[in-house]
Amino acid sequence: MAAAAASWEFHLPLVPADLLRDSGPGCYVVQEVLPVPEIPSALAAFRTAFRARGALAVLQHFDSLYSLLHHFQAAGTAVKEDALELMMRVVSHHSSKLPAILDGSGLSHADRAAHQNALKMNCYLLTGLVDAFEMEAYKSGLLEVDPGGKNKKNRTKASGSLWEEEREPLLRLLTQLLQLDLRQLWGGLVVEEEFVSLVTGCCYRIMENPSIGLQKYRATQEAMTHLLAAALTHYDHMFNATVKITQMLQHFEHVAPVFAQAVSFWATEYGLKNLVGELLREIGQKCLQDLARDASGIKGYATFITELAEQIPALVLSNMSVLLHHLDGESYMMRNAILAAMAGVLVQVLNGDQLDEAARGTRDKFLNMLQAHVCDINSFVRSRVLQLFTRIVQCKALPLTQFQSVVSLAVGRLKDKSVVVVKNAIQLLAAFLSNNPFSCKLSCTDLAEPLKKEVQKLQEMRDRGRSTAAPAITPEEEWEAMLPEVRAATQQLFQPLQEGEEEVLEVEETAESTSEQITGLLRKLNYKSAARLTQKALCHFRGKEPFSCPTEENEEATVLGILKRLYTGSCPGENSEAPLHGNSCLETEEVVPEEQPQTELVKQEMLVQYLQDAYNFSLKITEALSLISKMMYENSVSVVQEAIEFFVTVSQFGVPQALLGVRRMLPLIWSKEPGIKEAVLNAFRQLYLSPSGDLERARAQGLVNSLSLIMVDASLGTIQCLEQIISEFVQKDEIKPAVIQLLWERFTEKSQCTSLERRAAVMLLGMMARGKPEIIGSNLDVLVSVGLSEKVCEDYRLAQEVCNVISKLASNPKPGLGKNSAPFRLPQNHMLFGCLSETVSKGFGQPSGHWIPFMEAAVALIYELAEGAEEICAHILQVCSQQVLEKLQEADGQKADRGVSPSRVSDGASSLPTFLLMHLVSLVGQVALQQVAYLEVSVSAELRRRRILKEEEKSKKHSDSSMTKQRTQSTRNETSMEEELGLVGASADDTEAELIHSICETELLDGKHLFSAFVPLVLKICNNPGLYSDSALSAAAALTLGKMCMISSEFCDSHLRLLFTMMEKSALPGVRSNLIIAAGDLAIRFPNLLEPWTAHLYARLRDPCPSVRQTAGVVLTHLILKDMVKVKGQVSEMAALLIDPEEAITEVARNFFSELSNKGNAIYNLLPDIISHLSDPNGGVEEESFHTIMRHLFSYITKDKQTESLVEKLCQRFRTARTERQYRDLSRCLTLLPLSERGLHKLQDNFDCFADKLQDPAVYSCFQTVLARFRRAGGKPETKTLVDELEQKLSASHNRGLDSAETCQESSGMPMPEPAKRKPPGSSRRQALSTANRDEDFVTPPSRTLRKHKRTQKRPPPKKAIVAFSSDEENSSEDERSAELIEEETPTKTTPITRSSARRLR
């Protein structure tokens, strides 16, 4: 058998079919491929032969196994599994026998050839089966996602699972084989490369399976790693492995982590460090352009580099230079990978204070590269670098010298356009805070004082050092000591340069700077460079001091002379604080006492530098705070969450400005995003519910102090947000009883606290009562007796907060009560109302700025909780009125002094203190408003509740009696039908509403009611601003007038003209603001009456006072969003607020349009009208301001249909535009639209509308911008053709327009039409509306009945809408643009786009 095997040789084929062809003499050829049915019997024969003859049996039975490989798909699963098991046994047997065979000295040539052929055959068959099974497993994995073919899936899955179990032992078997010294089979020579590639090839084939990286195949991965390690160490597989790994990384992304793990294992366990360099060099040599085109290949390389740097960073560092040129390539993934590798090296290798000079240089170089890529062109790279810096900072691998530069870069990235970059920049700054080496408290003010003190101390130490160190050693003595070394260095000048020595020093521009440079070199003991620079300076500055000394006998003496003059002449005045340099022979006993002060000086310098770095770091964090606080209302949830988390971190480091961010965070508790709301709650848990302290009392005190700090100078909105947060904590029992106990102690003054802290304690109790009303209910007597005691006049604000807290009992009824139970009210004789009446009446006659807010809270509380509230308030009014009458009687009795002081209001012979009249008017207005609210809400609800109870009792009785009666009566059926339809309840509700309405209309203001006595007084104050000139009194009277108008529609209608006249003409911003608020309330209560006056409300958006504009913006926002005011062309006034100089007003406008965008197509419908108004050159809005407004509004246009429609409308608008300014504005609007392909077609279809306007360079440039955007986006070939065609038409029209304009100018001498003049840059906001209008301007608009009559007339069928803009029409006259609405101008039907004027109707 061995002799037969020696006559031929088995050559490993490139493809299996090669074995079927004769490849030449002495080569093995498969004689017969058996059919599938004969394969099982052939396998049985091979098994029998194997038992008899061992592994050499394959020499006669190779064709049987080859036939199985040839028909693998058709063969049965059992046959294939038997063949795999048999071949593993054969190879295992051969592997166990080979050591004894190879060690024997008597191995003949024939036996060696037989074993070699048998080994190659067995391995070929085994690896062939591996490839076949692996391919089958891969296909079965694909079939698993197929919903059909369930049986096939289950079958292949079972087969695949069996193969997965066989992978690991099979690989270990091949590893065991490769660990033998197989060179003996090849005559002691190198094992043929094809055999090694055959064995390792199956390993690579298994790695191609995408699931091989899963954790459950960890053992298989280790087996492959050991197999390849054996090939690398024993069979010189390095080159092939490098090529194969590189190829697989390019084509299979999933193998990158597996190969990274394997390569690091080979390098550390087997010493194959060269392989790392070869692989990185191979990747580094990849063409940058090819990588840019092949994105899939890049990802594998990038992952491999990143993973490798994490596992063996030192080896990657030594080969990093071959990768650095990829940082200049187009592939952002490669840049990310290399930068990540740098970060891994920085954290694991180049970290610590023990680095040598070269390592520090490399570290700084890597850090500089990372910093450079913080501003990379690709946002993914910028984001990744910030993440890497976060890791570096967290691992404390960033040297202190680089802190400021990296922090500055992070702060700069907060303004990045990419959301991901901003998010990571916030995370980096938070990491800087958490890992800063400076202090746990980073307040600029706290750091500035010690820094100033230590700098001063350092200066004093330096001054002392100069005075004591000067006489120690003279410069001449130093020079004499260093002269031998200087002379030796000078003599070397006149010798030729040594090999590798370079001249790098250059002469400075002036002789003085060169002298300083030479002196510095001498002090650094760099004598050779100093002498060489002096030699150059002698030639360069010939004749100039200090290089103009007389020529010595030789050049060496000249150089030495100049060096001596420079050194001895500069020592006394320069660098005296620097440590002295000299030879060791100068170290005398006199120097020793100086070492101690010198050490202290160095320590002080280090302390000053530390404090300076801490101060600079604190400044940067403070700068970041203002930027991050503005991000809390971004659209990105992740950015908002990061901003919230950042402010939590900042607050823990005691930065004072963090409180502003915490307050800004509060409104986010109302967010509709659950993630943001939960982030706010978690932030407040960390900040306030987890205070430090061992004792529960100390923790409670810390929590109360922190919450009290938030409420100092907090707005009403902030307090409402905090109330929502605290009530949620209370409902979840997250606030301990000790906190509530401490608050009660502060309120009752059992615990020492300031008045502010006491007031804050009451407010916090009220907030908690919203979650648990029993906190207040059980201590109501304490609240009344302490908070509304005789001392209330000392602190009305505390009493006001007490009233607000008690009112929580009304807004939070007891949960145990039923739906139709009586509301919680206290009896009329309760001590609470007695205290309130007495307190209000007593404070009425005393001047206090806080009495009115307290009075308003007290009156509101009485109406909310008291039974018979109107009687209590009537009594208060009578008592206070009596005080006023008594004051008048006193004034009448004092006739001697006719003069009236400025603080008194005079009317004829009588006079009153101004504050008294103001208190009276305010009290009347508050009682009137609360009376209306009481009737409309409480009384109406009570009437309804009682009616429902009666109906329920009646229905019970009716149902009991109806059991014995017939149900056939028609009236009974009709009644039950009405009840089913709800008509009975509806009519009853209407009856109750009419009752309340009639009371308000006829009774409250008639002569019998108390209010009627005060109406003339209020009207007199409002009608005579000259007589009653006090601003506070005027504001109070105006507000009271508005409250009285809430009572009756008749009274409101008759006094609206006065109200709006005051709103327009009053010189007091407080009066105008109050009346705007009143008008907003009236618009909700009596919308039909207020509708004709809407223009006057819009006019206040151009008020010269910022507070009035802001009030008008807020009121109109509420009215428009609640659909209480029709959105007309005046909405452009709201758009103009987007460029208001006041940030708060701009925020109101942004909020308005943001909310309006949620109401369907509202902004889309309004845009044409807004453009018409704002693009009018006479409208007072500059071009740049117009662009700013439009950029904001167009950001809400996101639907393709809206975009296409707007393109058409804007193009049509070119036909009617009158000025070049309007052309430019319209074309600029087109650039703001996200055009689609259909939008481009619209532009093409309407080309004639704007073709003649393209001669304007600005218009032409805008259209070019639109087309350039399409060109960059790519798209379909037909789209590119359309873009090219449109661009040619644009260019032709532009050039034709310019040529015709030049020809026209030359022939007629007529100048070109001048462009619209631009307004000066100062007038960016619309011109403020004058407050001094004529009385004739305030004509009461006609009643609404005429309009209703017109609307009831039959209208013709609607025609197709024609796009028209109000600015298309000619300029209207002044009376048409005024705020009045005359009958002809009132549109019968308003639409958002079409709006006609009276001028066109004539």
1371: Cα separation from own chain's centroid: 46
CA proximity to 577, closest of 607, 597, 606: 597
Report the range of poorest mean pLDDT among 114-128, 165-179, 1387-1401: 1387-1401
What is the C-alpha to C-alpha distance for residues 13 and 150, in angstroms, rounded to an integer? 38
DSSP string computed for 520-535: HHHHTT-HHHHHHHHH
What is the C-alpha to C-alpha distance for residues 373 and 1236, in angstroms, rounded to an integer? 34
SS3 1178: helix
pLDDT at 1328: 45
More confident residue, 1217 or 681: 681
Asked whether residue 199 carries a pLDDT value surpassing 90, the answer given is no
With contact defined as beta carbons under 8 Å apart, do 749 and 709 qualify?
A: no
Report the range of poorest mean pLDDT among 68-82, 554-568, 1383-1397: 1383-1397
Quick: pLDDT tens for 170-191: 888 888 888 887 777 777 677 7
Token pair 């006669």: residue: 60
Q: Please, what is the end-to-end C-alpha distance for the chain in angstroms?
A: 121
Asked whether residue 387 carries a pLDDT value surpassing 90, the answer given is yes
* Burial zone of 419 (CB within 10 Å; 0-12 exposed, 13-18 middle, 19+ buried): middle
Mean pLDDT of 462-488: 72
Query: CA of 728: how far to CAs of 49, 141, 664, 700, in Å?
Result: 83, 51, 19, 18
DSSP string computed for 56-83: GGHHHHHHHHHHHHHTTTTS-HHHHHHH
CA proximity to 931, closest of 989, 875, 858, 873: 873
pLDDT confidence of 1350, banded at 50, 70, 90? very low
pLDDT at 352: 81
More confident residue, 324 or 1380: 324
pLDDT at 504: 52
SS3 911: strand
pLDDT at 1076: 92
pLDDT confidence of 219, banded at 50, 70, 90? confident
Asked whether residue 593 carries a pLDDT value surpassing 50, the answer given is no
Label residues 823-860 b or e (16+ Cβ within 10 Å = b). ebbbeeebebbebbbebbbebbbeeeeebbebbbbbbb
Token pair 């570096």: residue: 392
Report the percentage of the chain scoring pLDDT > 90.
7
pLDDT at 529: 83
Q: Which contacts of 24-28 are long-range, i.e. CB under 8 A and separated by 24 or more positions?
A: 28/62, 28/117
Asked whether residue 1031 carries a pLDDT value surpassing 80, the answer given is yes
With contact defined as beta carbons under 8 Å apart, do 88 and 126 qualify?
A: yes
What is the C-alpha to C-alpha distance for residues 275 and 863, in angstroms, rounded to an integer? 88
pLDDT at 282: 87
pLDDT at 954: 80
With contact defined as beta carbons under 8 Å apart, do 387 and 424 qualify?
A: yes
Quick: pLDDT tens for 1074-1117: 899 999 999 998 888 888 888 888 888 888 999 999 999 999 99
pLDDT confidence of 138, banded at 50, 70, 90? confident
Quick: pLDDT tens for 1271-1290: 766 567 777 777 788 888 88
Residue 15 CB neighbour total at 10 angstroms: 6
Asked whether residue 492 carries a pLDDT value surpassing 80, the answer given is no
Asked whether residue 577 carries a pLDDT value surpassing 60, the answer given is no
With contact defined as beta carbons under 8 Å apart, do 920 and 884 qualify?
A: yes
pLDDT at 388: 94
Mean pLDDT of 1018-1044: 88
pLDDT at 1288: 84
Query: CA of 443: how far to CAs of 439, 610, 657, in Å?
Result: 10, 15, 9
pLDDT at 951: 82
pLDDT confidence of 968, banded at 50, 70, 90? very low
Mean pLDDT of 617-626: 82
pLDDT at 400: 83
Report the percentage of the chain scoring pLDDT > 70.
78
**Pairing, β 904-907 against β 910-913:** antiparallel
More confident residue, 382 or 693: 382
Could you write out the three-class secondary structure of 376-422? Answer: CCCHHHHHHHHHHHHHHHHCCCCCHHHHHHHHHHHHHHHHCCCHHHH
Query: CA of 1262: how far to CAs of 1221, 1236, 1336, in Å?
Result: 13, 17, 47
Quick: pLDDT tens for 498-521: 544 445 566 666 777 788 888 888
What is the C-alpha to C-alpha distance for residues 582 and 713, in angstroms, rounded to an integer? 66
Strand partners, 375: none
pLDDT at 446: 64
pLDDT confidence of 687, banded at 50, 70, 90? confident
pLDDT at 1402: 31
Residues 6+ positions from 1227 with CB-CB distance below 8 Å = 1250, 1253, 1258, 1259, 1262, 1263
Q: Residue 822: left (phi > 0), alpha (psi -120 to 50), or beta?
A: beta
pTM of the full structure: 0.67
What is the C-alpha to C-alpha distance for residues 1048 and 1011, in angstroms, rounded to an integer? 12
pLDDT at 293: 67
Quick: pLDDT tens for 774-825: 888 888 888 888 888 777 777 888 888 899 888 888 765 444 444 566 778 8
What is the C-alpha to C-alpha distance for residues 414 and 554, in angstroms, rounded to an integer? 65
What is the C-alpha to C-alpha distance for residues 888 and 454, in angstroms, rounded to an integer? 69
Asked whether residue 142 carries a pLDDT value surpassing 70, the answer given is no
Average pLDDT along the chain: 77
With contact defined as beta carbons under 8 Å apart, do 609 and 500 qualify?
A: no
Token pair 């120690």: residue: 472
pLDDT at 369: 92
Peptide bond between residue 546 and the one before it cis (omega within 30 degrees of 0): yes
Residues 6+ positions from 5 with CB-CB distance below 8 Å = 56, 59, 110, 113, 114, 117, 118
pLDDT confidence of 693, banded at 50, 70, 90? low
pLDDT at 1385: 35
Report the range of poorest mean pLDDT among 161-170, 560-569, 801-810: 161-170
pLDDT confidence of 424, banded at 50, 70, 90? very high
DSSP string computed for 699-717: HHHHHHHHHHHHTTT--HH
